[in-house]
Amino acid sequence: MAFDPNSVLTVQPIPGLPDEVNQIRLDTADIVANRIIPLENASWRDESTRKAYQSIVAEVKERKLWAPHLPVEYGGNDLGFLSHAYMNEILAWCGMAAPMFGVVAPNSGNQKVLVKYATPEQKKKWLEPLVRGETQSCYSMTEPDNAGSDPRSIKTSAVKDGDQWVINGRKWFTSNGIRADWALVMCRTEESDGAGGVNEKMSQFIVPTDTPGFEIVRSVPVWGRDGSHCEIIYKDVRVPLDNIIGSEGQGHAAAQERLGAGRVYHCMNSIGHMWRAFDLMVKRAIERDVYQGKLEDKQFIQGFIADSYMDIQASRLMTIHCADLMERGVDARTEISAIKVFVPQAYHRVVDRAIQVFGAKGVSSDTPLAGMWLGARTLRIADGPDEVHKILIAKNVLDRYHDGLSWDFGVC
């Protein structure tokens, strides 16, 4: 896929940010702009491209930007939640960038779960090789016959049998399933007694993908394209008792922590895509002649530019605010739901306008816009559909009013 190179990443220090955060932004942008984007149209079959990839990863590690979300003791650089969020905005300029910084999903989310919940032995066996890039993992939670927006409806079961867990069930949209060496699988370890507490019936397990009974049925096509979102059958899959992550019943809590942080990263990633789409659109408007004039002189196009600028700035402020709250340890569940609804919709609008300015070229593979448009639409479903997050926002606000408080959550 050949992209139009008419897009240049430039980053300036942000007044008011700590110097170390600005330096992380500048260092990240330097590598993405000068080392990675020039490879965007290169063939990965070429030995020179593979060597360049390895060289970039080595530079990322040397400049202490590798795996910013992980503690140093596990091979990361522990740059903090806010710094990582700012990095994601820049990494989004090129789809190749995130893997070169060691923050590609679902591995990064699985790593965070293992850091908090895994035993020292599990970290040695599963986490450390994953951080080094020697292995791949997948996340297996969603099921075809149960609502993905309600993880408590999961039916895949894990039952103790002697010194093993026996897992049975069916999953789909298991990200990275094709390449994974092991799966992190959400299971029901005890049937609900009808008295509540369904969340405490869920547990997560590490399942090596070469375990008997682990069967990849297919890669589920997304927007007509095959990828790595697999449908998987677990039929009498047996793993040792110590393959459970954390204690029995901690699976739901671990999943929510994983998804909460992931939603912020997805939103910052979306904002980076928006900036690139905006950059392409504005340059196109300046350069394109139509009806005896430049596109930039048409009021329709000026409206597109203004609306997109406002969408991006609003998205960015909301998301950085949310990331800042999480950095300070404040309960940000309402803010997470708010950005999860607003940012993908804004992302979709911005890219849609850019496509309109490019015309037919906008839906071709000569620009990254078509892929962005599909990705933006997907994000309105992935990690919780808009409607579920709106319900959560309203519920949290109403609870405050019933408690005699107001809409002001006191966290601004």
Tens of pLDDT, residues 316-326: 999 999 988 88
In a domain, 353, yes or no: yes
Looking at the fold, whether 337 and 230 belong to one and the same domain comes out as no
Domain that holds residue 158: 137-245
pLDDT band at 412 (very low <50, low <70, confident <90, very high): very low
Would you say residue 117 lies in a domain?
no
What's the pLDDT tens digit per position in 368-407? 999 999 999 999 998 889 999 999 999 999 998 998 888 7
Residue 194 pLDDT level (bands cut at 50, 70, 90): very low
Residue 2 domain-assigned (yes or no)? no
Same-domain pairing of 346 and 392? yes
Pair 263, 231 in one domain: no
pLDDT score, position 355: 98
Q: Is residue 214 over pLDDT 50?
A: yes
**Per-residue model confidence as pLDDT tens digits over 158-171:** 999 999 999 999 99
Question: Are 32 and 141 part of one and the same domain?
Answer: no
Phi, psi of 132 (to 5 degrees): -70, -10
pLDDT score, position 265:
84
Q: Is residue 13 part of a domain?
A: no
Binning pLDDT at 50, 70 and 90, where does residue 1 land?
A: very low
> For the domain that residue 381 is a member of, what is the CATH number?
1.20.140.10
Global confidence as pTM: 0.86
Residue 116 maps to a domain = no
398/257 same-domain check: yes
What pLDDT, on the 0 to 100 scale, is given for residue 7?
Answer: 57
| Residue 263 pLDDT exceeds 90 | no
Residue 269 in this model has a pLDDT that exceeds 80: yes
Distance CA 142, CA 150 (A): 9
| Residue 126 pLDDT greater than 90, yes or no | yes
Residues 396 and 329 in one domain: yes
Out of 92, 110, 128, a domain closes at: 110
State both tokens at 139: 């996340």
Query: What mean pLDDT is predicted for residues 253-272?
Result: 85
User: Of the candidates 183, 232, 226, 218, which has an alpha carbon nearest to the alpha carbon of residue 204?
Assistant: 183
What is the distance between the alpha carbons of residues 85 and 56, in angstroms, rounded to a whole number? 21
Note whether 238 and 280 are same-domain residues.
Answer: no
Q: What is the pLDDT of residues 343-363, one digit of tens each?
A: 999 999 999 999 999 999 999
**For the chain, how many residues are written?**
412
Same domain, 146 and 230: yes
pLDDT, one tens digit per residue, over 129-140 is: 999 889 999 999
Going by C-beta distance under 8 Å and a sequence separation of 6 or more, which residues neighbour residue 248?
189, 190, 203
pLDDT at res. 208: 98
- Residue 410 domain-assigned (yes or no): no
Sort strands 182-188 and 137-140 into parallel, antiparallel or unpaired: parallel
193 pLDDT higher than 60: no
Start-end of H helices in 359-408: 369-379, 386-402
Decide which of 245, 280, 308 is a domain's last residue. Answer: 245
The structural domain count of the chain equals 3
Mean per-residue pLDDT, 80-87: 87
Boundary of a domain, candidates 197, 220, 245: 245
CA distance 3 to 98: 18
Q: What does the pLDDT read at residue 409?
A: 58
Q: Are residues 334 and 284 in the same domain?
A: yes
Query: In 3D, which of 73, 138, 65, 146 has the Cα closest to residue 108?
Result: 138
3-state SS class at 210: coil
pLDDT digits (tens, 9 = 90+) for 271-297: 999 999 999 999 999 999 998 899 999
Kindly tell me if the per-residue pLDDT of 192 is higher than 80: no
pLDDT: is 148 or 156 the higher one? 156
Residue 196: the pLDDT is: 46
Q: CATH code at 142?
A: 2.40.110.10
258 has a pLDDT exceeding 60 = yes
Identify whether 380 is part of a domain: yes
According to DSSP, residue 225 is labeled: B
**Cβ count within 10 A of residue 368:** 23
Co-location of 316 and 359 in the same domain: yes
The predicted pLDDT at position 146 comes to 83
pLDDT for residue 212 is more than 90 = yes
Please say whether the dihedral angle defined by the alpha carbons of residues 120, 121, 124 and 127, taken in this order, is positive or negative: negative
Are 181 and 236 part of one and the same domain?
yes
Task: Determine which helix (DSSP H) or strand (DSSP E) holds 226, and give its type and residue range.
Answer: none
| Whether residue 183 is found in the same domain as residue 303 | no
- Assess if residue 102 is contained within a domain: yes
